[in-house]
A and B are shown apart, each in its own frame.
Chain A
Amino acid sequence: MSISATVISVSLISTALAVLVVLADRIFNNYGECEIDINNGTRKFKVDGGSTLLATLASQQIFIPSACGGKATCGLCKVRMAGDAGVVLPTEEPYLTEDEKANGVRLACQLKVKQDMQLHIPEELFSVKEYKARVEKITQLTHDIKEFRFTLLGPKQIEFRAGQYMQIETRPYDNVREIVTRAYSMASLPSDNQAIELIVRLVPGGICTTFMHDHVKEGDTLILRGPFGDFYLHEGADELLFIAGGSGLAPVKSIIFDVLEKGLDKKMTLFFGAVTKKDLYYVDLFQQLADKHENFNYVPALSGPEPEDNWQGETGLITEVMKRHVADPHNKQAYLCGSPGMINACVKVLEGIGLREDSIFYDKF
Chain B
Amino acid sequence: MGESPAISPFVILLASIFTSNMVLANFLGMCSFISVSSEFKTASGLGKAVTLVMVFTTMINWLVYRFIVLPLGLEYLRYIIFIMVIAATVQIIEMAMDRYLPELHMKLGIFLPLITVNCSILGISLFMVIRNYNLLQSLFFGIGSGLGWWLAISALAAIREKMAKSRLPKGLDGPAITFITTGIMALAFVGFSGIFVIQ
The answer to whether the Cβ of B74 comes within 8 Å of any Cβ in the partner chain is yes
User: Do A87 and B106 touch (CB < 8 A)?
Assistant: yes
Contacts of A9 in B (CB 8 A): 72, 74, 77
The answer to whether the Cβ of A90 comes within 8 Å of any Cβ in the partner chain is yes
User: Do B110 and A24 touch (CB < 8 A)?
Assistant: no
Expressed in whole angstroms, the Cα–Cα distance for A29 and B95 within the complex equals 7
Closest A residue to B105 by CB, please name it.
A89
B79-106 to A contact mask, C-beta < 8 Å, 1/0: 0110011011001100110111010001
Expressed in whole angstroms, the Cα–Cα distance for A21 and B86 within the complex equals 12
A1 and B110 in contact, given A20-B88, A21-B88 (Cβ under 8 angstroms): no
Closest A residue to B74 by CB, please name it.
A9
Q: Which of A20, A28, A90 is the one whose CB lies under 8 Å from B99?
A: A28
Interface centre among B74, B88, B91, B106 (most CB of A within 10 A): B88
Contacts of A24 in B (CB 8 A): 91-92, 95-96
User: Do A17 and B84 touch (CB < 8 A)?
Assistant: yes
A interface bracket (residues with beta carbon within 8 Å of B): 20 to 34
The answer to whether the Cβ of A112 comes within 8 Å of any Cβ in the partner chain is yes
Q: Is the interface of A mostly helix, strand, loop or mixed?
A: helix
The answer to whether the Cβ of A91 comes within 8 Å of any Cβ in the partner chain is yes
Expressed in whole angstroms, the Cα–Cα distance for A22 and B17 within the complex equals 35
91-147 of chain B: CB within 8 A of chain A: 91-92, 95-96, 98-100, 102, 106, 109-110
Closest A residue to B95 by CB, please name it.
A28
Contacts of A18 in B (CB 8 A): 88
Q: Which of B77, B87, B95 is the one whose CB lies under 8 Å from A25?
A: B95
The answer to whether the Cβ of B191 comes within 8 Å of any Cβ in the partner chain is no
The answer to whether the Cβ of B67 comes within 8 Å of any Cβ in the partner chain is no
User: Do A28 and B98 touch (CB < 8 A)?
Assistant: yes
Contacts of B80 in A (CB 8 A): 10
Closest A residue to B85 by CB, please name it.
A17
Contacts of B194 in A (CB 8 A): none
Expressed in whole angstroms, the Cα–Cα distance for A91 and B114 within the complex equals 14
User: Do B88 and A17 touch (CB < 8 A)?
Assistant: yes
The answer to whether the Cβ of A14 comes within 8 Å of any Cβ in the partner chain is yes
Min CB distance, A110 to chain B, in Å?
A: 10
The answer to whether the Cβ of A283 comes within 8 Å of any Cβ in the partner chain is no
User: Do B102 and A90 touch (CB < 8 A)?
Assistant: no
A90 and B92 in contact, given A9-B74, A28-B99, A29-B99 (Cβ under 8 angstroms): no
A90 and B110 in contact, given A17-B85, A24-B95 (Cβ under 8 angstroms): yes
4 nearest interchain CB pairs?
A28-B95, A17-B88, A24-B92, A28-B99
The interface of chain B, by Cβ under 8 A from chain A, is: 68, 72-74, 76-77, 80-81, 84-85, 87-88, 91-92, 95-96, 98-100, 102, 106, 109-110
The interface of chain A, by Cβ under 8 A from chain B, is: 1, 6, 9-10, 13-14, 17-18, 20-21, 24-25, 28-29, 31, 86-87, 89-91, 112
A–B Cβ pairs within 8 angstroms, 28 of them: A1-B73, A1-B76, A6-B77, A9-B74, A9-B77, A10-B77, A13-B68, A13-B81, A13-B84, A17-B84, A17-B85, A17-B87, A18-B88, A21-B88, A24-B91, A24-B92, A24-B95, A25-B95, A28-B92, A28-B98, A28-B100, A29-B99, A31-B99, A86-B106, A89-B106, A89-B109, A90-B106, A91-B110
